[in-house]
Amino acid sequence: MKLRVLTLALLLLGAAQPIVFVPMDDRPVTLQLPVMLGQIAGRSVVTPPRELLGRYLEPGRPDAIIAWLNAAAPHAGDYVLSSDMLAYGGLVASRVPGPSYADALTRLHEIDRLRSRFPRAWIGVFGTVMRLAVQRSSRLIPRGRICSNMRICTTRCCLRRKRRPSSCAR
């Protein structure tokens, strides 16, 4: 009997409006897995076009994603949104110099606008704790090496990984 009730509940949920999902980046675990979980639960999960999400070190296009979100919003009942993607263009992009604080905040205000347009909708927003990206890229980290105190060090002895000068000490 319980199995029949569960099956009926999943069928009824499947008839519900889709979930709009804005992932934090394009990795399979953050993009494909939530879509598959929605299928298991009998819910359709709609995501932005992949070209808007960026790829690895290339940031997504948050303004285009917000435009997509506003277009998709009337057709959804629930929203799961990454604040990293909406504000900065993704997880890695949130950890490197990029958009100004004012730009990021303006983009996050779109969540308030979404709430005012659809007051009965369930809106879930998730984010990550900020940290410094450790990937070496000319766009991500200035020339030099990251010292233990997280400053960019360009002194020659530090770059050659010999002893650290006093300016790089902990």
Task: Domain count for the chain, please give it.
Answer: 2
Cα–Cα distance between 90 and 107 in angstroms, integer? 13
Q: Are residues 65 and 96 in the same domain?
A: yes
Task: Give 90's DSSP letter.
Answer: S
| Domain containing residue 163 | 134-170
Q: What was the pLDDT predicted at 165?
A: 52
Cα–Cα distance between 2 and 144 in angstroms, integer? 62
Q: What was the pLDDT predicted at 75?
A: 82
Answering whether pTM is above 0.85, one says no
**Span 113-150, pLDDT tens digits:** 999 999 888 999 998 876 665 555 555 544 444 444 44
Q: Are residues 119 and 86 in the same domain?
A: yes
**Span 51-86, pLDDT tens digits:** 999 887 888 899 999 999 988 877 888 999 999 888
Q: What residues pair up with 78 in beta bridges, in sequence order?
A: 19, 122
Question: Taken in order 8, 14, 15, 19, is the CA torsion positive or negative?
Answer: positive
The CATH number linked to 107 is 3.40.50.2300
